[in-house]
A and B are shown apart, each in its own frame.
Chain A
């Protein structure tokens, strides 16, 4: 008898891994609640920090940066918890014992992290607008900001999942993840802040910068996600 070569479908395995993450999160709400509460706390701090600004202060000039700081710090909190269920009973080893390809584990975990991050953004970004942008004169291109938010979230979830796995068995992993994450996502963050700024300001003739920034963000996502996919087997193996 040779080894049974019955290869389970990759799609079936991906759905099983993703379904498990979503089911457990809906049951425990561990990531969603912690990220949601943290986002509200950051908004409260923003409120305190901006309450003493002069009347001439233009919130639009810093809004994109503030919003992306909110998204990045909130995501860091969630990413730190994204493997908490896997470490509880060494369940990650249970997954690694199965014939599932390691990059598929990455894809499923990155997808679930993206879904949870987008779910928090759906609440946090409108709250940001309600609290701080009520009096601002938004440009007609404001709805376009959804594109950098999606591209930025894909990159943060993907790169964050990879780095979160890398730091899984390290001491001080919470700090280590942040130390690794911020420099690695900096180009993505820069492009997304730029594109979001242009979308919010709606400056005539600047839309080209918006698309160029979006292209940079998309390209960075593709490169980093491909690298994460390719290196994931090595990271899990070590």
Chain B
């Protein structure tokens, strides 16, 4: 088996290093000794059935939640000791758009841009709205947007700080085919040099996009490898309750 921490472009800088990460809610272990490393420029897709701990993992990577145990290093910074130093370098797209419905698209981006301390924030916000094809709705309240437009605005919000690491939590959920196409093309446009971690139940799309795949089950790593070493059929089996624990063994 090849070393999954080596990216296909021979870049060996590790942007995300997770070691023995555990997260407990009461008596329930959401994550149990999770370890993996993601090199710069890689696209990691995280798969696993409901309750596998995918979203918990992503929230810890986004510094929104703290693990109960383990270490997390991102961009050579201890994310548990100095999360505030990292937040300016992370973009996060959640199930929720994380925008204010009563503010316009432009006002939302300018607001978040100021919190990130972005330079020339108004022009940058306009450029991003053009990138996500929302420039014609820049001054409309976000609450009037469709799910697909909201997701594009969410992507623009996540890019306002020009992040090195982009975290995506089921970004395709609830999108129609056109919105899915737009999001696909946006991701490919911004992908160069950035490190992605995406949680997805869409096995085909998640597998097609990723350079690395991580398979979780009940908080534990079932498999972590280069995408080419994990077949789509292996992923399908992971979602079959009868096969859990046996996949890739």
Contact = CB atoms under 8 A, between A and B. Distances in A.
A24 B97 CA distance: 18
A85 interface: yes
Contact of B89 (A3, A23, A237): A3
A46 B26 CA distance: 48
B65 to A, nearest CB: 8
Interface in B52-80: 62-64, 66, 74-77
Interface in A18-73: 20, 23-24, 27-28
B99 A91 contact: yes
A93 B98 contact: yes
Given A95-B115, A99-B116, A3 B99 contact: no
Interface stretch (A8-16, A117-125, A209-217): A8-16
B114 A2 contact: no
B85 A3 contact: yes
A94 B90 CA distance: 12
A101 B66 contact: no
Contacts of A94: 98-99, 112, 157
Contacts of B173: none
A17, A91, A97, A98: most-surrounded residue (chain B CB, <10 A) = A97
Interface string A191-209: 0000000000000000000
B12 to A, nearest CB: 13
B210 interface: no
B176 interface: no
Interface in A70-92: 85, 88-91
Interface in A165-206: none
Contacts of A13: 114-115, 117
A130 interface: no
A3 B115 contact: no
A90 B101 CA distance: 11
Contacts of B96: 89-90, 93
Interface of A: 1-9, 12-13, 15-17, 20, 23-24, 27-28, 85, 88-91, 93-101, 237
Interface of B: 13, 40, 62-64, 66, 74-77, 82, 84-90, 92, 94, 96-103, 107, 111-112, 114-117, 142, 157, 161, 164
Given A23-B107, A89-B96, A99-B88, 4 more contacts: A85-B101, A89-B97, A89-B98, A99-B84
